[in-house]
Amino acid sequence: MKSKLILPIFMALFSFASVTALDNIIITEVLYNPFNESGGEAVEIYNPTENRIDLGGMAIKTESSQGDATIPAGTFLAPGEHYLIADSGWNSLNQGVIASYEESMTLVNSDGGVALVSNGMVLDALGWGDPSGIDNGLYEGSPSALTEEGFSLRRKKASGLYIDTQNNSADFYPSRPNFKRSSGSEILVFAEVLSSAPAFEWVNVSDEDPLSPGIQVLPMPGKDRLIGIKAAIRNSALNVSVNFDSKSFVMNKTGDLNSTTSIYEANISMPFYFPSGNHTIGFYAYDLYGNRESRSQDIEILGLLSVELDTDKLYFSSAPGTSAEIKGDYNLGSTGRVTIRNTGNKHANFEISGTDLAYGGSYIGSGNISFTFGDEYSGPLSGKLSLVKHRVNVNLTPGQDSLQHLSFRLDLPGTSLPGNYTGSIFVSASG
């Protein structure tokens, strides 16, 4: 058991303002002389008001400390509820009631007291023994009488309500401990308010034909087509992207539509041989917390029938009654030899025609020029020039390097006069 030694020295007295107990938290029971000194002391407090009271920072003042035990911040006590503050180890001793809060406390066994203090004010106090041996502010009126070991001091009740006459000897009586922890449990609620997930206000894809329903995009012959993309996104977005043809393109913020909505833009690349038909562009926006918003836009890729030839002049040189041939190849870099490239997204067949060769008043008929898309000047891939278009079903597939050679042979009549003859050959694609 603890004993108290009174030293003949002068001590500074701390002055605390007091408030009416029933307007605030009161002490209802104190066990200062338990059978188990370690972990056996306890102070019970009560909220007699109609309001929820914040206990955070309230402290138990004793003979040994201005704040022998301090209630943690964020602790609240509902109206009509008790709160039990106990010495460290209380709960492990199985005292019959679980303490609301444990902290090491030192309560003397004779001529002592406790006070509940908040921001320098004594809310309530209870002392026991000889008042001459008790520090100022640790009792009200006259202290209660000392109890036997294992007994507590309990506040009296009248008509079910606690009595508080501001006099400890009148308000408390010795009793077997009967602590009452709060009958209810307070659940602290924490709500993190996150930013609203991004949301698409609208998306826009550049349209080749605004007058027609839907969105049409026409490939660019032989080159990649840049398709302009815009999106208006409400709320903050950390990352915005657009997916097309299994590729992802970053959309960059280019401005604000208003205080909550921003504009994002990108150009997506489409090869000239991209298949015609209906396709989907996917839009995705992510915020800082990983929330995702998506939007899709259907577009129609228009069909493009387009070819290009790598030469625009052919030079034959031959004597009358002989032939001259210019063989085509698969090399776009060669000169004087015809290579055809499919620069669209459709299979290409061909129509070919030509004029007579003329020199002054002399002519060489167009039929003297033969052509072939193959190796021989006979068969379905060959023919002779005329003013009438000759259709040849080559079925040249679209692709990055889809090439076809075209060869020509001039058979000069034996009666041809010497000279420099000129004429034209027309090659066009057909579906």
Q: What is the pLDDT along the chain (431 residues), one digit of tens a residue?
A: 343 333 333 333 333 333 344 678 999 999 999 988 888 999 999 999 999 999 999 999 998 888 889 999 999 999 999 999 999 999 888 777 889 999 999 999 999 999 999 998 999 999 999 999 999 999 999 999 999 999 999 999 999 899 999 999 999 999 999 998 655 555 667 887 767 889 999 999 998 888 889 999 999 999 999 999 999 999 888 899 999 999 999 999 999 999 999 999 999 999 999 999 999 999 999 998 888 999 999 999 999 999 999 999 999 999 999 999 999 999 998 888 999 999 999 999 999 999 999 999 999 999 999 999 999 999 999 999 999 999 999 999 999 999 999 999 999 999 999 999 999 999 999 98
Select 199-301's CATH number: 2.170.130.10, 2.40.260.10, 2.60.40.650, 3.20.10.10. Answer: 2.60.40.650
Is 307-430 in CATH node 2.60.40? Answer: yes
Length of the chain: 431
- 308, 312, 332, 383, 386 from 371: Cα distances, Å: 17, 16, 19, 6, 11
For residue 241 the two structure tokens come to 């992207």
For residue 187, the model assigns a pLDDT of 64
Which has the closest alpha carbon to 172: 127, 133, 130, 131? 127
User: What radius of gyration, in Å, describes the C-alpha atoms of the chain?
Assistant: 50
For residue 347, the model assigns a pLDDT of 96
Strands 76-77, 390-396: pairing is unpaired
User: Residue 84: in which H helix or E strand, if any?
Assistant: strand 82-86
How far apart CA 26 and CA 125 sit, in angstroms, is 8
- 10, 320, 368, 384 from 414: Cα distances, Å: 145, 4, 12, 19
Q: Do domains 17-175 and 307-430 have the same CATH topology?
A: yes
User: Residue 168: in which H helix or E strand, if any?
Assistant: helix 168-171
Is the Cβ–Cβ distance between 346 and 359 less than 8 Å?
no
For residue 182, the model assigns a pLDDT of 59
Q: Which residues contact 86 (CB under 8 A, 6 or more apart)?
A: 39, 41, 42, 43, 95, 99, 101, 102, 105
For residue 7, the model assigns a pLDDT of 34
Which has the closest alpha carbon to 65: 26, 24, 17, 103? 103
Is 17-175 in CATH node 2.60.120? Answer: no
The dihedrals phi and psi of 170, each to the nearest 5 degrees, come to: -90, -25
pTM of the full structure = 0.55
Q: Which sequence spans correspond to the domains of the chain?
A: 17-175, 199-301, 307-430
